[in-house]
Each structure stands twice: as structure tokens, then as C-alpha cells.
């Protein structure tokens, strides 16, 4: 089974689009699912240098309409968390498009073609245009993505294999849009910021265990199974913002073959590990969306398009 183009590295630009769709217009939705790869080629072929790619995700409720008999084992609505300082909220979303390229204009062109194919009554409930900021930094000023699995490891972390063989080649995408309070963040000293993240700001080196607080972001997200093996996800976060609106954000997207890994990270961040020891980054970051999508293999997308699942 060929996965969708999940395993690629971060690009200069990305466009994230989440839509709700009227489930009774399932013929239109199936035809869009079937054509998404072709539309991506129609744009991307003309600009090979731009490395255009698109991953399509399907939310739990829409999946139930499209394929009531067969469902990925871990596909469910995003699990809300009532956290210590912030809630991880769940928000609507039936279809998700993760469009990436080296140029934003090319992402936008594909998004327009996809939007034109959404059935009448669909609503784009979220659209974010993300950009590379300096040397891969988030808008808190820290390099984001360093400890991601490398090219040889991504498939093993993000793409389903035999554990759910009907859905091999698929992946779970957890998506949250965070807004940062930069006024409060910038009131911290650089050392305090480094303790919140768990890495040094300028040179990106991880703090040693003795100086890394247990509520640092990387401390709470560095997790292991019972046998001591590290549990990882593939993150493709992008910064976004608006000077006029005063928004500074991180669009979090984590791909996993086992979404319980992402969900455990979220519990660590919001509820704390041990309970109450929540992620210090949340004092400065608020999620404004929360969604979970299943991104089928390219073959399964075609089968969904043709009703034959």
C-alpha cells in the first residue's frame, strides 16, 4: 500500500484547510477524494522545484457515512482534555487537507482547486497559511522539529503496517491550532524560556537532565513504552501569524501509526505527568482547535472514491 506523501520533510510553506461537509452529498465527497491526487499532479507537475504535496484526512463522523462497515481501529473524535491551565478542545472537521510546497502560491492554487470541488453546503472551518520562520523556529523563537524521526524512521513511526492490515499505509493526523501570548512569553528571561522548552534558544542544544525541569515541553513529550523503547510521532508544525490581528501561532500536526502515542503526549502536556505537572508552554499557548483525521493509503482513497470498501 502506498501511503500519502506524509514522510516528506518540512517545506518553506504549508496551507492547512479543514472543512465540514454535508454527509448526504457523499457522491461529491467520494469524487473529491478520488481526484485529490490528480489535482495535486495537475498543479505540481508544472512546478517540479516546488515539491507540492497534499495529504487528505477524513474525520470520524464522515468516515461513518462513507464506510459504515469498516473503520480504522483508532479513528474517533478528538478526545477533549480538561487541563490544569488550558483545555484541549475538540472542534468540528470532516475533511483535512495538508498542502505543502516550497512556495505558498502553489499551495494556494491547489487549495482553490480543492475548495471548488467541495460539495454545496460545505464550510471551510479553518484555514491557516504557515511559513518557515528563520532557521525552522516557532514564533516563541525556538527551533521546532529537531527530535523528529529521521527519513529512515518516519515510516515506522507514522505509517500503519500489519497491526491494522485493512488500513495499512494509512496514518492518524492530530491537528491543533495554538495561539501564543508573546507579551507574557517575552517578559520571561531567555533562561526561563529555555527551561519551559527544555532546549537552549540560540544554539538549540538540549538542556542536560540536571537543569531540565520536569514540566519542560520536551521532558513531558519524551515518552517510552514499558520496555523502555522511545515512542515517537512525526511532527510537521508550522508558524503562522497576523500583525494586524496580533496573532502568533503554531499549527501543530502530528502523524502517528498509533494515535494513543499522540494522545499520551497530550495528556502529559495538559493534565501533567505526574498529574498536575503540566507543560509550562501551555502558560503561553492556547489551543483554539482540536481534530483527529485518518489519512488512508492512496489505494484506499481510490476505493473510497469508488464505493468499494
x/- letters, 16..55, toward ligand HEM (CB under 6 A): ----------------------------------------
C-alpha cell of 101?
510546497
C-alpha cell of 29?
465527497
The CB-of-231 to ligand HEM minimum distance in angstroms stands at 9
- State phi, psi for 260 to the nearest 5 degrees: -65, -25
| Contact (CB, 8 A) for 214 and 276 | no
Q: Does 262 bind ligand HEM (CB under 6 A)?
A: yes
Residues that are catalytic: 144
CA dist., res. 172 & res. 98, Å (int): 13
Residue range at the interface with ligand HEM (CB under 6 A); choices 35-43, 67-75, 144-152, 188-196:
144-152
Q: Is the Cβ of residue 222 or residue 302 nearer to ligand HEM in the bound state?
A: 222
CA dist., res. 171 & res. 111, Å (int): 21
Q: Does 170 bind ligand HEM (CB under 6 A)?
A: no
| Contact (CB, 8 A) for 90 and 76 | no
x/- letters, 235..254, toward ligand HEM (CB under 6 A): x--------------x-x-x
Q: Does 133 bind ligand HEM (CB under 6 A)?
A: no
Q: Does 78 bind ligand HEM (CB under 6 A)?
A: no
The CB-of-1 to ligand HEM minimum distance in angstroms stands at 26
CA 43, 44, 45, 46 torsion: positive or negative? positive
| Contact (CB, 8 A) for 304 and 296 | yes
For residue 104, CA distances in Å to 144, 150, 269 come to: 20, 25, 31
Cis ω before 274 (30° cut-off from 0): yes
C-alpha cell of 204?
538549540
Q: Is the Cβ of residue 231 or residue 309 nearer to ligand HEM in the bound state?
A: 231
The CB-of-301 to ligand HEM minimum distance in angstroms stands at 25
> Three-class SS of residue 259?
helix
Residues in 181-220 at the binding interface with ligand HEM, rule: CB under 6 A: 197, 199, 217-218
Q: By beta-carbon distance, which residue lies closest to ligand HEM?
A: 147
Q: Does 221 bind ligand HEM (CB under 6 A)?
A: yes
Q: Does 145 bind ligand HEM (CB under 6 A)?
A: yes
Backbone dihedral region of 68: left (phi > 0), alpha (psi from -120 to 50 degrees) or beta?
alpha
Q: Does 260 bind ligand HEM (CB under 6 A)?
A: no
Catalog residues that contact ligand HEM under the rule CB under 6 A.
Answer: 138, 140, 142-147, 176, 178, 197, 199, 217-218, 221-222, 233, 235, 250, 252, 254, 262, 265-266, 281, 285
Amino acid at each position: 500500500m502506498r501511503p500519502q506523501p506524509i514522510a516528506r520533510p518540512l517545506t518553506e510553506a504549508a496551507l492547512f484547510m479543514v472543512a465540514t461537509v454535508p454527509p448526504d452529498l457523499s457522491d461529491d465527497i467520494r469524487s473529491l477524494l478520488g481526484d485529490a491526487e490528480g489535482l495535486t499532479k495537475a498543479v505540481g507537475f508544472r512546478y517540479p522545484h516546488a515539491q507540492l504535496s497534499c495529504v487528505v484526512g477524513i474525520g470520524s463522523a464522515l468516515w461513518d457515512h462513507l464506510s459504515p462497515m469498516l473503520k480504522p481501529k483508532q479513528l474517533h473524535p478528538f478526545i477533549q482534555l480538561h487541563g490544569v491551565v488550558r483545555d484541549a478542545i475538540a472542534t468540528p472537521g470532516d475533511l483535512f487537507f495538508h498542502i505543502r510546497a516550497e512556495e505558498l502560491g502553489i499551495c494556494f492554487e491547489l487549495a482553490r482547486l480543492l475548495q471548488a470541488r467541495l460539495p454545496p453546503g460545505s464550510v471551510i472551518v479553518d484555514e491557516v497559511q504557515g511559513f518557515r520562520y528563520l532557521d525552522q523556529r516557532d514564533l516563541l523563537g525556538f527551533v521546532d522539529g529537531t527530535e523528529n524521526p529521521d527519513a529512515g524512521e518516519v515510516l515506522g513511526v507514522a505509517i500503519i503496517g500489519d497491526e491494522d492490515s485493512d488500513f495499512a499505509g494509512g496514518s492518524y493526523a492530530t491537528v491543533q491550532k495554538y495561539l501564543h501570548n508573546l507579551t507574557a512569553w517575552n517578559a520571561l528571561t531567555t533562561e526561563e524560556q529555555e527551561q519551559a522548552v527544555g532546549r537552549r534558544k540560540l544554539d538549540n542544544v538540549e538542556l542536560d537532565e540536571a537543569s531540565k525541569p520536569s514540566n519542560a515541553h520536551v521532558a513531558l513529550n519524551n515518552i517510552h513504552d514499558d520496555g523502555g523503547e522511545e515512542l515517537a510521532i512525526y511532527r510537521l508544525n508550522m508558524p503562522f501569524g497576523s500583525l494586524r490581528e496580533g496573532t502568533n501561532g503554531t499549527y501543530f500536526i502530528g502523524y502517528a501509526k498509533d494515535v494513543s502515542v499522540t494522545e499520551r503526549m497530550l495528556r502529559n502536556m495538559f493534565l501533567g505527568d505526574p498529574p498536575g505537572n503540566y507543560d509550562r508552554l501551555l502558560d503561553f499557548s492556547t489551543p483554539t482547535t482540536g481534530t483527529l483525521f485518518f489519512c488512508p493509503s492512496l489505494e484506499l482513497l481510490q476505493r473510497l472514491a469508488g464505493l468499494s470498501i
